Amino acid sequence: MKNRKLKNSELKRINNREFKSSKKTPLIVILDNIRSLNNIGSVFRTSDAFLIEKIYLCGITAKPPHKDIHKTALGATDSVEWEYVEDTLALVRLLKSEGKAIVSIEQAEESVSLEGFKTKSDTSYAIIFGNEVKGVSQEVVSASDYIVEIPQYGTKHSLNISVSCGLVIWDLFVKLKM
């Protein structure tokens, strides 16, 4: 049969123990007040796919275990390291003091388009995704080292957070692995 689909058993996926000991992509994901449990689960699943270092759940963002997070995460809450931190701005300040480059994914003055954002191989990045309605809080945007915007050409002004996360993580994964 030509172009036969692979079975799950043929995908040679690593297990949770192997994931935890794997070399990670130098990316941290920060979720700033995300309402949707399904979006949170999707971010976990995408983070697992690209070996993300850690996810920080901030503000009103729900924490595992929760059935609606689990429904979309499909077990990624067990593989990807995560932590709850109430105050996003305090976390941003801490990560900056540790040498992480802080990147808000937001539409803002002087933002850089995603395709034009240049990464440095010796830098670890913390990428922040904001609330489904309000986006990343202004105080966090102001504290960021970079503001990156996903270009959009249609009539809508935003993408779902899980879609945005997938686009940004994939783009930065490719840039950092080069």
Signed CA dihedral, 98, 100, 102, 105: sign only: negative
- pLDDT of 47 above 90: yes
Report pLDDT for 130: 98
Is the pLDDT assigned to residue 1 strictly greater than 80?
A: no
CATH code, 156: 3.40.1280.10
Q: What per-residue confidence (pLDDT) applies to 94? A: 98
User: Does any domain span residue 9?
Assistant: no
pTM summary value: 0.96
Residue 167, domain member (yes or no): yes
Within-domain flag for 52: yes
Cα(123)–Cα(100) distance, integer angstroms = 7
Residue type, position 168, single letter: V
Residue span of the structural domain in which 45 resides:
23-177
Residue 19 phi, psi (nearest 5): -60, -50
Identify whether 11 is part of a domain. no
What per-residue confidence (pLDDT) applies to 2? Answer: 87
Cβ(31)–Cβ(102) below 8 Å: no
Tokens of 124: 């670890």
Q: What is the mean pLDDT of residues 57-73?
A: 97
Task: Assess if residue 7 is contained within a domain.
Answer: no
Q: How far apart are CA 159 and CA 132, in angstroms?
A: 9
Asked whether residue 18 is domain-assigned, the answer is no
pLDDT at 65: 96
Please count the structural domains in the chain: 1
Q: Say what angle helices 37-49 and 161-177 make with each other, to 10 degrees.
A: 20
For residue 40, being part of any structural domain is answered with yes
pLDDT by residue (tens digit) across 110-145? 999 999 999 999 999 999 999 999 999 999 999 999
Establish if 3 belongs to a structural domain: no
